[in-house]
Structure 1
Amino acid sequence: MTKRAEQHKGDAPPVAGEAPDHSMSIEHFIGKVVRENRTNQGLTIAELAEQSGLSRSMVSKIENGQVSTSLESMVSLSRALGISMSTLFRNFEGQEGNAQHVKAGKGMEVVRRGTTRGHTYHLLAYDQGPAKLFEPFLITMDDESEIFPTFEHPGTEFIYMLQGKIEYRHGNRSYLLQPGDAFTFRGSVPHGPERLIKLPIRFITIIMYGHAVGSES
């Protein structure tokens, strides 16, 4: 093993959750990803070099961003690490951030079947493209005379109570939900509000789909 490889054999992986360096070059970014995956798998530079067919010196230089990695070398490293090529570049273009910020009260108001009075849905994240992975809503109820439909949909639904008190039915059981309560259930089982006990009622609900809605999977 070369002296340089020996020096880097015991290097600790980057601290999880550390802020990204927005000035990081593509060479240093790929090197960081390779090192993180190698150390997470408990591999030494020598072991990764052997499995990828690259020299130990080359693996060390790649991890430290000292060379422009060829496509052939990246394919060899990704196969040796058991990761996809896309993983090597994941988040590089998005280092500046690609978050969606919906200000208070600015969620898109939507109408769902059978909820035309005293029952407001505000969609808290949107523009997810044609294939949706999740849908978060802020729901407000303030009309105790409203008659609620029964809902059924794919995926899992999560409810977090913010205000008020409600009896919520899932299948053949009813649950009393109060502020601070969390409630998770399968969306394919018939469900919905059964009785409004204390108004107004406000809760966050997130529908998480098992696969992207609108996709072929």
Structure 2
Amino acid sequence: MSNDLILQISNRIKEKRKGKKITLQQLAEEVGVTKGLISQIENNRTVPSLTVLLSIIKSLHVDLNDFFDKLDTTEPNEPLIIKASAQQSIEKEYTKGSFYYRITSFKLHGKLVDVVLYRQEKDARKGYVSTQAHEFDYMIKGKMQYTIDGKKYILETGDSFYYNARKQHHTKCLSNEPYEMLVIYFFDEE
């Protein structure tokens, strides 16, 4: 498990929800929030308020002590090695043909950094999205198009791209095979 406490809490929520076979929609209704917010919390895209976090834990019928037991709060003093088998698939709402695999997530100077391998198929159905972060992308293979503020940007294997992902953006695969990119999110929130 990652040393990032927020990531551990997000993973614990998802683990407990799935273990109890509760859908995102069911949990959202029980907590009184949107399905999208629960998904964003589980996928470490947003940090819940204390009230929402406690409501989620209560709705999952989990004892507070059990929920927070064995969270790793120590800082690593050795290099971090992440085995391919440890990568986590991230479920995103409103996407078909897009796949996210979290490599790691950590804090740097109090800011969250999320490292993801992203793959999108040619016929993927994905609307405009935004993320509360700046984003650096490195194209591993394929060809794709970003649309941001009506402008189109084409990326091919070996290209890099950095932008403010708070802006509504859309991605489209331009190659016959899925494209793959390494994505590094730099969140501004403390």
| TM-score where L is the length of structure 1 | 0.47
The 3 A distance-change label for structure 1 pair 106 and 189 is same
1:151 aligns to what? 129
The superposition leaves residues 78-126 of structure 1 with CA deviations (integer Å, 9 ceiling, x where unpaired) of xxxxxxxxxxxxxxx97x83433211253111111212x3321100114
The superposition leaves residues 40-65 of structure 1 with CA deviations (integer Å, 9 ceiling, x where unpaired) of xxxxxxxxxxxxxxxxxxxxxxxxxx
TM-aligned CA deviation for residue 203 of structure 1: 0.4
Answer yes or no: is 1:200 the counterpart of 2:171: no
**Is 2:120–2:173's contact at 8 Å kept on the other side of the alignment?**
no
- Alignment identity in percent? 21
2-structure distance, mates of 1:151, 1:132 = 22
Amino acid at match of 2:146: Y
**Is 2:113–2:184's contact at 8 Å kept on the other side of the alignment?**
yes
Of structures 1 and 2, the one scoring higher in RCO (CA 8 A, sep 6+) is 2
Amino acid at match of 1:124: I
The 3 A distance-change label for structure 1 pair 180 and 105 is farther
2:87 aligns to what? 107
The 3 A distance-change label for structure 1 pair 191 and 167 is same
Hey, which bits of structure 1, 4+ residues long, moved more than 4 A? Answer: none
Gaps of 5+ in 1: 1-92, 213-217
2-structure distance, mates of 1:164, 1:201 = 4
Note the 1:1-217 alignment, pairs <5 A. Answer: 97-115=77-95, 117-126=96-105, 133-142=112-121, 144-212=122-190
Count how many residue pairs are aligned between Structure 1 and Structure 2: 115
TM-aligned CA deviation for residue 127 of structure 1: 6.9
| TM-score where L is the length of structure 2 | 0.53
2-structure distance, mates of 1:140, 1:194 = 11
Who wins on radius of gyration, i.e. which is larger? 1
TM-aligned CA deviation for residue 202 of structure 1: 0.6
Gaps of 5+ in 2: 1-73
The 3 A distance-change label for structure 1 pair 211 and 98 is farther
